[in-house]
Amino acid sequence: MKAQVLHTYDPALTAPEWVRGAEVADPKIVKSSDVIIRIGGAGVCRTDLHIIEGIWRPHTDPSGTALLPLIMGHENAGWIEEIGPEVEGFKKGDPVIVHPKVTGGTCIACRRGHDMHGEGKFPGLDSNGGYAELLQTSARNLIALPKTLAPKDVAPYADAGLTAYRAAKKAAQQLLPDQAAVVIGAGGLGHIGIQVLRAMCAARIIVVDTSDASLSLAAEHGADHLIKADGGEVDAVLALTGGKGAEAVIDFVGEKGTTKKGLDMTRPMGSYYVVGYGEEIRVPTVDMVITEKNIIGNLVGTWAELTELMALADRGLVELATKHYRLDQANQALQDLHQGKIRGRAVLVP
Ligand code: ZN
């Protein structure tokens, strides 16, 4: 099959090309529960840039470069190509979206439904993913797509959408109609988070971003207030929230100073949700005591939550802005993402 393969890390992200096209062996059914997916779309994610930089190396490649060459791509949707002998309920040609964590289903995390904390591979990060024509996964990871949703249009929901959904759902379950939520960063994840908040709670939604294009995307998707992040964004949020800050702040950026600003926008007893990552959070412990603010991490989402998100998408309550690239344009897609040129999400279509 054709694939785009990462051969070397690039900590400064300055190389002209990061992945190379190659003809590689097709993935095979190994376990009886395995499934081979013909990729219809593979989302291009900021995590892929972080993999290239080597941020994930201590977690996925501690011995050095043993992981490489790697086929990235953890946001996958497509059609069933082949099923293992024990797989039931799916047949060749069925359209599916793939939960990114391959889980066995028998550990305590899986049995409690916390799929992303289960034991198993995360294709695209620690084993071969979907920047290719075919992907090996497990039947347990699949969600059948309704007729309304095409694989190339929904692939980024598998991680970007699911992560935004999980954080926004946690916030929505706490938020009351007289309260406010701040979304920092209305890019690929943020524009989904805004729609999930809109669909699941009645709080006011304040969106903060450095880019006019992202703010216009936020306005189309239900933001009540738009704030250009030009240095005065904390004051602007305080002015909109009676000087106290918002009950929920969801930070889809997590670098370039947004963690301090995000916490400064959070009201006492409010919650600051970390989604984007890169920098350190530094808070005097006395401030945590006095304000009783919560700092909440978010890791992808459960299989059940991906099903919930597909229900919102099927009913048109959440829409994904996508830009499609051919598989052999993977470097272009990664570059465009790196340079902030993508409105919504980039998707590779083999
Ligand atoms: Zn991702």
| Structural domains for the chain | 2-159+301-349 (3.90.180.10), 162-297 (3.40.50.720)
**Using CA of residue 129, residue 135, residue 141, residue 147, what is the dihedral sign?**
positive
- pLDDT for the residue 33: 95
CA of 177 to the centre of ligand 1 (A): 31
Q: What's the confidence (pLDDT) of residue 62?
A: 84
Sorted by sequence, the CB contacts under 8 Å of residue 146 that are 6+ apart come out as: 310, 314
The closest of 60, 53, 42, 38 to 8, measured between CA atoms, is 53
In terms of DSSP bridges, do strands 142-144 and 95-98 run parallel, antiparallel, or are they unpaired? antiparallel
- pLDDT tens by residue, 239-262: 999 999 999 999 999 999 999 999
Helix 190-200 and helix 160-172, axial crossing angle in degrees, nearest 10: 40
79-108 mean pLDDT: 95
Q: pLDDT tens digit string along 148-175?
A: 999 999 999 999 999 999 999 999 999 9
For 75, the enclosing helix (H) or strand (E) is strand 75-83
CA of 306 to the centre of ligand 1 (A): 14
- Largest interatomic CA distance in the chain: 61
What is the band of 32 on the pLDDT scale with cuts at 50, 70, 90?
A: very high
How many Cα atoms within 13 Å fall on the side-chain side of residue 236?
A: 17
Does the pLDDT at position 65 exceed 90?
no
Ligand 1 ion: residues within 5 Å (CB): 45, 47, 159
pLDDT exceeds cutoff 90 at 145: yes
Over range 130-135, report the average pLDDT: 98
Does 80 have pLDDT greater than 80?
yes
What local confidence, expressed as pLDDT, does residue 264 receive?
A: 98
Cα of 338 from ligand 1 centre, angstroms: 14
Answer yes or no: is pLDDT of 64 > 80: no
What DSSP string runs through 185-224? --STTHHHHHHHHHHH--SEEEEEES-HHHHHHHHHTT-S
Confidence at 61, pLDDT banded by 50, 70, 90: confident
